[in-house]
Amino acid sequence: MTDCLFCKIVSEEVPGEIVYRDDQVTAFNDINPVAPTHILIVPNQHMSSVNDMDQAAEPTVGHMFTVARELAEQRNLQDSGYRLIINTGPDAGQDIFHLHLHLIGGQRMRHPMG
């Protein structure tokens, strides 16, 4: 996608604080963090949202969760806890239409959501 911000961060056309990258996914710090750790994990290949997921995307989306867990462990969040969020569509407040998994942690969070 030529006009997608997160595609441009993946391709390094737009700068991002990349904290992890492999052949399937890229992870970078959120520009407007809501907690001490706020990382976005995205597929390298463009996908708008969960609505745009097909079966071929399952391994990559599964891998996004593995990377989230590893990043959480690196930051010592496995016991204090963390939240993984994927917003989909307007009611959820999705702003960027390139699938992304928010990894949020390092502080006590409000609950319930919604």
User: Contact residues for ligand 5GP (CB under 6 A)?
Assistant: 5, 16, 28-32, 87, 93-96
| 60 versus 94: smaller Cβ distance to ligand 5GP | 94
For residue 80, how many other CB atoms are within 10 A of its CB?
A: 12
Q: Which residues face 78 on adjacent strands?
A: none
| 61 versus 77: smaller Cβ distance to Zn ion | 61
Query: Would you call the peptide bond into 33 cis, given omega within 30 degrees of 0 as the criterion?
Result: no
DSSP state of 50: G
Q: Is 102 a catalytic residue?
A: no
Residues that bind Zn ion (CB under 5 A): 1, 4, 6-7, 46, 98
